[in-house]
Chain A
Amino acid sequence: MTDLATEPAEIEAAPAEPSRWRTGLEWAVLYVLSIAGALVISAGLVAVTGNSWQKVFGALLDGAFLAEGRWGNTLTVAAPLLLVALGMVVGVKAGLFNIGQEGQLLMGAMAMAFVGTKLAGPGPVLLVLGLVMGVVAGGAYAGIAGVMKYRRNVPEVISTLLLVFIAYQIVGYAITTDWFLRDTDPDRPSRAVTSAIMPEGIRLPVIRMFGNEFPIGFVIAVILAFVVAFVLVRTVWGFRFRLLGSNPKVAQKMGIAANRTGGMALFISGGFAGLAGAIMLAGGSSGFRLTTGFATNIGWQGLLVALVAGSNALASIVVAILFAALRTGSGFLASTGVDRKIVDVVQALLVLALLIPPAVMFVRRRRKALAMADEEIDLANEEER
């Protein structure tokens, strides 16, 4: 038998922790290796199709940052990505895996389009109303999944996913229906079916600086990132979300109602996606018009942003800019003759690469712990003998 009176200090000293310096090095090596692997595979793919990867890299860099006015474009794309990611962060912290942002984003954009093109009033008021309605629409759409989860135990992963495909059709219906959002103006520029154009007064202003047009949307998104980071760590609601996410049983014992807190988290999660959609529309996506292809995968990619950032609101800012850079950079790929879909491949490979190091470290730590536990059991058995 082990002696119960043993000093606790001795027990703590027993598992020989590798030095912090060494663990840090292991992390660094793992990250460098896996990211390098992803980049080498991408370069290989470009080479296989008979193009030079140096040119592709140069074009991406030009398109994302270096060429005139591209910083502004990159940040314009980064804003909705970051907003979607923030919603995802809140959801994940509360243990909810909402993957229907693409649909919630469309709902938000639809609300903004309705306010912008159907209601009359002073521009700034309508703009703010549109943003608020965007949040409500996105949140309510995610709320359907919440009701299904807490009433009937339907997993939110499946319901939010299916709701995306219904959202596509709802938008399709809205922009082909005269009384709803369809542009009935006979002088409209193209024959494609879209919503009416957002009036001048209801567009998000831009800041003109250094030859770039910096969008207000990005400023809003960054401010919200700090708000989310603060709320999650420093407020009661944040604590409730995190407790519900890390241990629902303890949360229940603490008097946290899973349905109300979880439903709230889902609403916020969808609300951010809805806000992203509203900001995209008021910020000029698809020429200030709602179209069937309006969302352009921003919802799907935004959720990957949050996951790559390890569900950290502030890290999401950097990752969102990186993802946005890949998107805007791909606009310059045409000159190199490489299909822009290569960017999706690079993005996915990078995400997979970033998943590997934490997973490897976790598995190794578990193995060591288990081996140590086994040793202790063996020791105890021997002593007994």
Chain B
Amino acid sequence: MGDLFSALADVFTSPTMYSSAVRLGGFLAFAAMGELVAEKAGTINISVEGSLLAGAFTGAVGYTIADGAGISGAGAVWFGLAAGVFGGVLVALIQANMSHRLTADQFVVGLTANVLVLGLAGYLSANMDLVTHRAEVIEIPLLVDIPLLGPAFFGQTWPTYLLYPLIPLTWWLLYKTRWGLELRAVGENPQAADVSGIDVNKRRRQAIYYMGILAGLGGAFLVVGQVGTYDTGAVGGRGFIAIAAVYFGGWRLGGVLLGVFVFGLADAFRLAVPVLGYQLNAQFLAALPYVITLVVMFFITKAYRQPMALSRPFIRGLR
């Protein structure tokens, strides 16, 4: 136990820890924001995992195509990111239309979509030669000099900075537009929303499309903006952490982002501990993000209120 505490103290005062936390949690922030919007409208969108992986795969394909066509550097990265959005939205289309047009069970559809994407990405990538490179690191002057946190938030690869405008955009969409108001109404009380003339299932589908855009972007960002190589196991269940982050954050944008950062820290901690020469149980550290989420959920879910109609399908005339 003593080891744990001195490791904690050492690790949390090193700036590299925060840098790798942002690096490891960055792609999850995209996905978690999208998931938040989907859940605000009433869907627990398990296929966020599939959207992430689809984005990663199509992103890598997009980059490869652009690279083959002679576009290199930032241009190819942009191309990859756009392709990633396309992939993420494809999965969202399946999830949205199966669960909110045909009213098939959303969890069944989500789980199946995940299996489908995992199989497709694995099958197709085995038959392809994917060439990807990491985007450039750009340091934002002045801000990067902030002690401890500066390099973490302002000394990353340039696609990381796409995240920053998306945060206020998501907030504005959710809380300051009519669309966002209707979307939240649909997640709280679909019967009332329906009576006042909102097409409930349409809003829910749109919320899932938004999730698809963001998660696809996040997946592509993971490949072309962060790691630099494609691997079908790259997402490997971390999409579920995005869902956990939404619970962790109590369905508030700030809380969700904090949740993602905490998971990033836990992940970074796992990697930093052996480097600093401490002996801590590797399995315990790998399980840490999940344990933290479960513990937090145990203590928090009563304090925060989830959207009332979360995971309940809406069929007019049936409650």
Contacts and interface: CB of A to CB of B under 8 A. Distances in A.
Nearest to B118: A344
Interface stretch (B169-177, B178-186, B291-299): B291-299
A92 B296 CA distance: 27
Interface in A122-173: 148, 151-155, 157-159, 161-166, 168-170, 172-173
Nearest to A366: B315
Interface stretch (B52-60, B119-127, B154-162): B119-127
Contacts of A220: none
B301 A154 contact: yes
Contacts, number: 144
Contacts of A157: 44, 46, 107, 311
A89 to B, nearest CB: 14
A35 to B, nearest CB: 15
A110 B97 CA distance: 40
Nearest to A340: B123
A304 B108 CA distance: 8
A112 B282 CA distance: 24
Contacts of A344: 115-116, 118-119, 122-123
Contact of B127 (A49, A165, A363): A49
B317 A370 contact: yes
Number of contact residues on A: which range applies?
A: 35 or more
A105 to B, nearest CB: 16
Contacts of A154: 294, 297-298, 301
A355 B287 contact: no
A42 B112 CA distance: 15
B291 A352 contact: no
Interface string A266-310: 000000000000000000000000000000000010011001000
Contacts of B297: 148, 152, 154, 158-159
B123 A148 contact: no
A345 B112 contact: no
The secondary-structure label for the interface of chain B is: helix
B300 to A, nearest CB: 9
A345 B316 contact: no
B55 to A, nearest CB: 18
A97 interface: yes
Contacts of A307: 105, 108
A247 to B, nearest CB: 11
A162 B290 contact: yes
Nearest to B281: A173
Given A162-B240, A170-B283, A304-B115, A339 B122 contact: yes
Interface in A100-123: none
A369 B109 CA distance: 26
Interface in A192-243: none
A359 B123 contact: no
A349 B123 CA distance: 14
B9 interface: no
Contacts of A355: 98, 102, 104-105, 108-109, 112
